[in-house]
Structure 1
Amino acid sequence: MKYGPDIAHIAALIGDPARANMLTALMSGKALTATELSQEAGITLQTASSHLAKLDEGGLVIPRKQGRHKYFSLTNEEVAHVLEALMGLAAGSGHLRTRTGPRDEELRKARVCYKHLAGNMGIQMYDSFVRQGFLDIGANGLTLTKAGASFARNFGIDLDSLRAKKSPLCRDCLDWSERRTHLAGSLGRALLTHMENLGWATRIPETRIVRFTASGQTMFDATFQK
């Protein structure tokens, strides 16, 4: 391709195994230091710093300095969206790095995908929204309907605040484990945060797993019926 976006450059940045591991670690939405990311990638700190400089230059991560420490996070939801899609493509093609285990089952059930809920429970919530007419799926993407807005407000979501932000309110995201859609966008992030504030679920440290309590699971299933 002689003209247009240089997808080969971005693909090369993501395609390096060490950089791919670091980017995947940042899918939790949590900012990490170069030391933490070097451990995730299994490389030296010096090598990790070199990789992070390339990812920063390529627009895939953004550094933030706080006190004596420098933290890195994904630049935006667009990067996470691409990474999740690539994970789905890799999984669908049979390119899995390890054998599955108990932790993998938890990841498939409920996990963080850049601050919104993914996995089986994320898909359940999305399907429930569609079935109840809360989302309109059009040629230009997802739109929250009046019924959906009413539900969100009654659930405790400040829609006015979300709509004042630049990021899309609703966005579909292809789930890597099921290769079906879950809800992203500022509404998807707000819903997960609110469920955590309600005590329904917690994020497990050092992983992307979201673990629901027994009562939280019951409330989730009652709110987002299958």
Structure 2
Amino acid sequence: MTRRFPESAPNIAALASAIADPTRVMICASVLDGRAWTLTELCRALSVPMSSLSEHASILIDHGVLAERREGRHRYVQIASTDIADWLEHTGALVGGSMAAAPTLAAKTRDRRLIDARTCYRHIAGRFGTQLFSALTQREWIDESLTITDAGRAGLADVFGLDVGAPTSSARPFIRRCLDWTERRSHLGGTLGDDICRTFFDREWIVRRPNSRALKITPAGREHLDWVLTADDDHL
């Protein structure tokens, strides 16, 4: 019997096997903040022995989940691409169920902060991320077809100081829904999501929490983003 296509079928099993380990999942969750981490930083953050962490990181690199670069004696790893980041976040949302109860008060605080606001690679996720998407659609800055409106261009310029020109021919979509793994709703992805996240950092409306991809909304951020923080999550 002739085998017609298995040899040319995408090797999904190989990619899936790369994250089929709790330690490798933790590594991916850490670097989803979009930054490059040294193995020493990951070792400390995850409390994993260096020998074990290095082995797991190498598996993720070999399968294209992480990218590696070396500078002097330091070995840095980061998410390999936006597509990989989206895949990881979406896979987390497809798992279903709620997060397991954290064993300590410190762990519960860490988890709560991740649920409230975090980065998903280069854009904002968590409840804050879904509220941001809702707020923009409620103001009709983004329409149902995920297109920026004229009111949206004016509003983003006025409120965020963000000059939004015509979408470019980039392979990445300008606006896209990114399924949030904790909220089970969409937060704002695409290049617009990246631009807004970067603007919030530049204006110091959000800051990173130490050793985490969780975000803290600053007093200045709460003042300027009150309309976002009170938005209802009314979209999928």
Query: Is the shorter-chain TM-score for this pair beyond 0.5, marking a shared fold?
Result: yes
Aligned-pair CA distance for 1:162: 7.7
Q: 1: distance between equivalents of 2:39 and 2:22?
A: 16
Letter in 2 for 1:37: L
Q: 2: distance between equivalents of 1:209 and 1:162?
A: 29
Unaligned runs of 5+ in 2: 232-236
Q: Could you tell me the TM-score, scaled by structure 1's length?
A: 0.85
Give CA-to-partner distance per residue, 1:113-142, whole Å, 9 cap, x none: 11211111111110111122222344xxx3
Unaligned runs of 5+ in 1: none
Alignment-derived partner of residue 112 in structure 2:
105
The reply to whether residue 178 of structure 1 matches residue 167 of structure 2 is no
Deviates more, 1:198-207 or 1:63-72: 63-72
Q: 1: distance between equivalents of 2:99 and 2:112?
A: 17
**Correspondence list, 1:148-163, <5 A:** 148-154=152-158, 155-160=160-165, 163=168
Query: Using a 3 Å threshold, how does the CA distance of structure 1 residues 88 and 96 change in structure 2: closer, same or farther?
Result: farther
* Cα RMSD, aligned residues only: 2.5
Q: 2: distance between equivalents of 1:87 and 1:122?
A: 16
Aligned-pair CA distance for 1:10: 1.2
Letter in 1 for 2:66: V
Give the paired residue count: 222
Regions of 4+ moved over 6 Å: none
1:162, 1:187 within 8 Å by CA — same for their partners in 2? Answer: no
Q: Could you tell me the TM-score, scaled by structure 2's length?
A: 0.82
Aligned-pair CA distance for 1:94: 4.3
User: How much identity, in percent, do the aligned residues show?
Assistant: 32
Query: Using a 3 Å threshold, how does the CA distance of structure 1 residues 203 and 67 change in structure 2: closer, same or farther?
Result: same
1:61, 1:73 within 8 Å by CA — same for their partners in 2? Answer: yes
Q: Which has the higher strand share?
A: 1
**Correspondence list, 1:2-81, <5 A:** 2=6, 4-81=9-86
1:28, 1:208 within 8 Å by CA — same for their partners in 2? Answer: yes
The reply to whether residue 127 of structure 1 matches residue 131 of structure 2 is no
Q: 2: distance between equivalents of 1:8 and 1:224?
A: 40
